[in-house]
Amino acid sequence: MTDFFKSIPAIQYEGPDSQSEFAFRHYNPDEVIMGKRMEDHLRFAAAYWHSFAWPGGDPFGGQTLERPWFGDTMDLARQKADVAFEMFDILNMPFFCFHDADARPEGANFAESQRNLEEITDYFAAKMETSKTKLLWGTANMFSHKRWMSGAATNPDPEVFAYAAATVKGCMDATHRLGGQNYVLWGGREGYETLLNTNLGLEADHMGRFLQMVVEYKHKIGFKGAILIEPKPQEPSKHQYDYDVATVYGFLCRYGLEKEVKVNIEQGHAILAGHSFEHEIATAASLGIFGSIDMNRNDYQSGWDTDQFPNNHVEKALAFYEILRAGGYSTGGTNFDSKIRRQSLDAEDLILAHVGGMDTCARALKSAAALLEDGSLEALRTNRYAGWETDSAQAMLKSDLSSIMQDVLARDVNPQARSGKQERLENLWNRFV
């Protein structure tokens, strides 16, 4: 045991009237909602990178956090893992997620970095034998090091493509070894700054082939989890190729991967794309590619991805409503891709941030489930499209323009505008949140 979280108790559910900071007021893992335990609905995960590797910097200032495990040795990497699993135990966290670069120090070359990853993977495996916490997903950091400044799979240098392929293989092997339920690819710098030095078609083909290789390797090693792409616009590249869910789906269809790959959707990225979180989730569900989510919030006055912990259950309820409508998670979960503020220096801050985020999501889930079970909103939605259930409307979809025009003339069709009833629906929603 380390002493980083000393004097912080294990967090228990105490109910809405609890006066303790170190208690859940709404997240009760064993509460049954729509026939399933709350823990199994939410499938919470802690992000290794923000909780244990982030130094507290922002676009305008450097490190503010001092952690005893910061450094570039395997001993410190093991100490970081010890602290991480202590936090998982305190929070009774079902899952965690990691990048390779979060978990192991960078080596002098690929071989050394790979040895470091294999060693820390074995250490994770040993920790997991005595912990309930499992791996939701692993991924590769192919955006921080300067070798990735012009992309990974889309890099103009084939040596960088090769390095990226080897990196992903190593991370997939680690994820598979640890029983990960998904493998995530975030493009990072898969995009461009200027067309003056960019071959768009070539870069798209290389990225498509790269993802095909990932899928091929998944089947080769017998990995049963999902392959997920995480859409993100603008940041860090001016023009990201994985801008939003719809863009990713078009890319998957172009390279024959729409049945093989799904999406991991982040609240902050949805906002940067000019969408809402629930829009991206609903879009993914309608296209059959919904996989998992990264839970956070953006500062709506800032122009970058601020990755704050969620604290608005009304906002998040819209997202969980769409998740429940889609049937809930299969291999996915609710990963806190969230970081404490750079002024939040204490170990307590890290625990309380997760407590608040978990409670926020629990309240959101309960509100969303109550409305879905009530059925009023779905009944109004169904009624709005009821005309399409008639035989004549279905026949029209199998007809042609000339036949439809003849029918319009014969019946003197003159449709009148119908209310969308938005205010009524918003009032109904507010009754449940």
In the predicted model, is pLDDT for residue 322 greater than 90? yes
Residue that wins the pLDDT comparison between 103 and 234: 103
Active-site residue, 99 included: yes
Q: pLDDT (tens digit, 9 = 90+) per residue, 144-192?
A: 999 999 999 999 999 999 999 999 999 999 999 999 999 999 878 999 9
Query: What is the model's pTM?
Result: 0.97
Annotated active-site residue in 26, 41, 100, 102: 102
Q: pLDDT (tens digit, 9 = 90+) per residue, 283-321?
A: 999 999 999 999 999 988 887 789 999 999 999 999 999
Q: pLDDT (tens digit, 9 = 90+) per residue, 70-129?
A: 999 999 999 999 999 999 999 999 999 999 999 999 999 999 999 999 999 999 999 999
Annotated active-site residue in 26, 99, 176, 269: 99
Burial 19-39 (b: 16+ CB within 10 A, else e): eeebbbbbbbbebebeeeebb
In the predicted model, is pLDDT for residue 236 greater than 90? no
Q: How far apart are the first and last CA of the chain?
A: 41
Q: What is the pLDDT of residue 187?
A: 79
Active-site residue, 307 included: no
In the predicted model, is pLDDT for residue 429 greater than 80? yes
Q: What is the pLDDT of residue 321?
A: 98
